[in-house]
Amino acid sequence: MSNETNTTYSIINGQSHQSTAMLDVRNPVDNALIARVSEVDEHAAERAIKCANNCFIELKSTTAQARGDTLFRWYQLILQNKKRLAELVTREQGKPLKEALAEVMYAAGYVKWFSQEAERTNGAVIPAQTIHHQLRTLKQGIGVVVGITPWNFPLAMITRKVAPAYAAGCSFILKPSELTPLSAIELAKLALEAGFEPGAFQILITSKPQDLVTQLNSHPSVRKLTFTGSTAVGKLLLEQTARSVMRTSLELGGNAPFIVFESADLEAALEGLMMAKFRNAGQTCIAANRVYLHSAIKSQFIEMLKSRLQTLVIGDGLGENVDLGPLINSAAKQKALSLLDDACKHGANIVYQGESQTGNYLSPVILENVEPAMAIYNTEIFAPIVSVIEFQTEEQVVNMANDVDVGLAAYVYSSNIDLLHRVSMVLDFAMIGINEGAISNPAAPFGGMKQSGLGREGGAEGIDEYLEVKYLCQRF
Ligand code: NAD
């Protein structure tokens, strides 16, 4: 590895931040070192906050139209650099190149969406009780925003925060996952090239997230935290932001039920499951975690799934036709294997398992007779393991599906339109795929109920997370 070409930097005030502390970034394919990134210390973080605060004041004198135009240029630059960004995502995160390309397009979609939403942050004129008053509301950017993002979608989890924040007139400090900082840095460089003010999007890299995030969350200039990651870390951060009553959005973990009724089109359900379970090797927050199969179709569906899994190509995501890359690291593989082991010890049985794999790779597994008391039922598996539960009635499956403390995504397959409506109405999940396994869309609100989070990203709702409503009462 040459230091010259593979050293990259945190970005403060539009400049590369030089430091002696360097973070190693490794390829999940073989754990090879692919780059080193300069880390920030508390002094650098303090400088970034000051710069973001000055930038927020500067942004107050820009128009929503101008910010929308800048976002649109960022969108175009992301598209122009699509291949390079996708290769970087594959190298640092492991997902197959075709999925990385899809992520670039998805990430760019949020930038385009919010370039247009910038102009739609309308206020209102409210009828007053006297003819001597006018009551108005207007919306203003909340201030300096801190964003913390995970490794599983290293581009999209960033654009769906930074784009609405900038559209609303906020400056943004991002701490991306220490496992995937490279694509975040490239995104920020493209934003600066598009015309973002130097303090509008800064990137702080650290291998000690707890220290840095605690510093950011307790700073009086920071007005909002937006976090995507695990429910456990989200809860810790919510405790921190409660101390200063800081506005907080949380996109946390899920435990999605994937329900196939006897009336379902099984081919369509299989396609949906391949998307909802095997995208990113199962490492998505909306991954099908509990697959409920009606007893009348269970055996047939499992046979169809087995045949399909045999066709999957496992390997380095940069290779041709690869469907399944490695898991993010050895700890992720270890966690998946121990969930599997625990389930088997408690009565589940493996009905399909691909060839055993070395390194961070894990072959697909189908596990039958999974029970609610098993750890695998109540934990995000984050691996290509299909956990099957058999059911007989609509009421039974809805009760089982809802009986968890999270509520992000759910999937329902049937050709009975009345049943689909009934079930969609009673599932305690914020996003429901109805005969559809791919639900994410920049135009739709993404988020969770219960312990899956607070707030929504994308859609008409996404920009509100970065706006304050101000009420003006004027007497004439
Ligand atoms: P994680 O919670 O371990 O880490 C997320 C981020 O928090 C990273 O940037 C990490 O450095 C930082 N972090 C970790 N510990 C911290 C601490 N003590 N203080 C401050 N910051 C800390 O999650 P992950 O493993 O990176 O991502 C996977 C999780 O993210 C899964 O639970 C998944 O469901 C969830 N996720 C949710 C969504 C959503 O939209 N709801 C989307 C993607 C991922």
CB of 380 closer than 6 angstroms to any ligand 1 atom: yes
328: which 2 tokens? 């993010």
What are the sequence ranges of the domains in the chain? 6-252+452-475, 256-440
On whether the CB atoms of residues 96 and 103 are closer than 8 A, the answer is no
Q: Tell me the C-alpha distance between 423 and 411, whole Å.
A: 10
Q: Mutate which of 177, 205, 335, 451 to test ligand 1's pocket (most atoms within 8 Å of Cβ)? A: 177
Average pLDDT, the chain: 97
The distance from CA 29 to its chain's CA centroid, rounded to whole angstroms, is 22
CB of 230 closer than 6 angstroms to any ligand 1 atom: yes
Element spanning 291, H or E: strand 288-294
Tens of pLDDT, residue by residue over 135-176, are 999 999 999 999 999 999 999 999 999 999 999 999 999 999
pLDDT at residue 357, as a whole number: 87
Q: Mutate which of 93, 151, 152, 404 to test ligand 1's pocket (most atoms within 8 Å of Cβ)? A: 152
**Which CATH architecture does the domain made up of 256-440 adopt?**
3-Layer(aba) Sandwich (3.40)
Q: Look up residue 409 and give its amino acid.
A: A
What's the whole-number mean pLDDT along residues 87-116? 98
CB of 384 closer than 6 angstroms to any ligand 1 atom: no
- Give the gyration radius of the chain's Cα atoms: 23
CB of 252 closer than 6 angstroms to any ligand 1 atom: yes
Q: Look up residue 442 and give its amino acid.
A: P
The verdict on whether 178 is a catalytic residue reads: no
Ligand 1: distance of its center to the CA of 252 in Å? 7
Q: Give yes or no for residue 249 having a pLDDT over 80.
A: yes
Conformational region of residue 330, where left means phi above 0, alpha means psi within -120 to 50, and beta covers everything else: alpha
pLDDT at residue 318, as a whole number: 97
Q: Give yes or no for residue 4 having a pLDDT over 50.
A: no
pLDDT at residue 1, as a whole number: 43
Q: Tell me the pLDDT band of 356, cut-offs 50, 70 and 90.
A: confident
pLDDT at residue 2, as a whole number: 42
Tens of pLDDT, residue by residue over 252-270, are 999 999 999 999 999 999 9
Ligand 1: distance of its center to the CA of 286 in Å? 14
Nearest atom (ligand 1) to Cα of 177: 9
pLDDT at residue 421, as a whole number: 98
> Strand pairing of 7-8 and 133-141?
unpaired
CB of 210 closer than 6 angstroms to any ligand 1 atom: yes
Domains 6-252+452-475 and 256-440 fall in the same CATH topology: no
Tens of pLDDT, residue by residue over 83-99, are 999 999 999 999 999 99
What's the whole-number mean pLDDT along residues 441-469? 98
What's the whole-number mean pLDDT along residues 346-369? 96
Atom 23 of ligand 1: nearest residue by CA position: 229
Active-site annotation holder among 251, 368, 380, 457:
251
Tens of pLDDT, residue by residue over 322-346, are 999 999 999 999 999 999 999 999 9
What's the whole-number mean pLDDT along residues 1-22? 84
130: which 2 tokens? 């006297």
Tens of pLDDT, residue by residue over 212-239, are 999 999 999 999 999 999 999 999 999 9
Q: Tell me the C-alpha distance between 286 and 256, whole Å.
A: 6
Q: Three-state SS for 284? A: coil
Give 6-252+452-475's CATH code, choosing from 3.10.270.10, 3.40.50.150, 3.40.605.10, 3.40.190.10.
3.40.605.10
Q: Tell me the C-alpha distance between 454 and 463, whole Å.
A: 14
Residues 6+ apart with CB under 8 A from 462: 110, 113, 114, 117, 160, 164, 445, 456
Ligand 1: distance of its center to the CA of 161 in Å? 14
